[in-house]
Amino acid sequence: MNYWLIKTEPGTYSWEDLKKDKRTFWDGVRNYTARNNLKAMKKGDLALYYHSVNEKAVVGVAKIVKEHYQDPTTDDDRWVAVDVVPEKELKKPVTLADVKADGRLENMILVRQSRLSVQPVKVEEFDIILGLSEG
DNA sequence: GCCAACGTTGGC
DNA sequence: GCCAACGTTGGC
């Protein structure tokens, strides 16, 4: 069981969109590091769902329901997609500022390498963020 | 809207 | 295979 963080711009595809759709394929990754992370995802893994741009906050948890396959939006076989469903909505969003303010999370890739759109998260970090969302 | 960070591309 | 130039992302 692995934990991840996936980023999206809410204007492009938000948590609300995922809830409405019930399931989506996570496509459009065009970065080798992020792609490698997609390939490492297993069915049942959980991913923090992060809104960048205006919100800059983790808003929910998504579950991986289908492991990587050819990205349907391109013929280029270098790129892959996975399928995700909404698992749990956070009671309150955990913002980037919250994460940065918590010393236990200072080594998160989200903080250290903010541009990576699909990144692994340690189980401890995952639990801390869920804890923060409880207030 | 600006700028820093970083990934990718392309020339050599 | 290296590295400079360029484009994109994302935080502020």
For A44-87, what is each residue's pLDDT tens digit? 999 999 999 889 999 999 999 999 999 988 888 889 999 999 99
Strand partners, A24: A84
Taking the domains of chain A in order of start, what are their residue ranges?
3-133
Answer yes or no: is A116 CB < 7 A from strand B: yes
Residue A56 is given by DSSP the state -
pLDDT digits (tens, 9 = 90+) for A35-46: 999 999 999 999
User: CA A118, CA A2: separation in Å to the nearest integer?
Assistant: 13
According to the model, what pLDDT value does residue A78 have?
87
| Distance from C-alpha of A79 to C-alpha of A69, rounded to nearest angstrom | 8
Cβ A40 vs Cβ A69: under 8 Å: no
Whole-number Å distance, CA A4 to C1' C3? Answer: 33
Fold of the CATH domain A3-133: ph1033 like fold (3.10.590)
Strands A80-95 and A57-70: antiparallel
Q: Is the CB of A106 under 7 A from strand C?
A: no
Nucleic strand B contacts from chain A, 14-73, CB < 7 Å: 30-33
Q: How confident is the model at residue A16 (pLDDT cuts 50, 70, 90)?
A: very high
Residue A50: beta bridge partners?
A7, A58
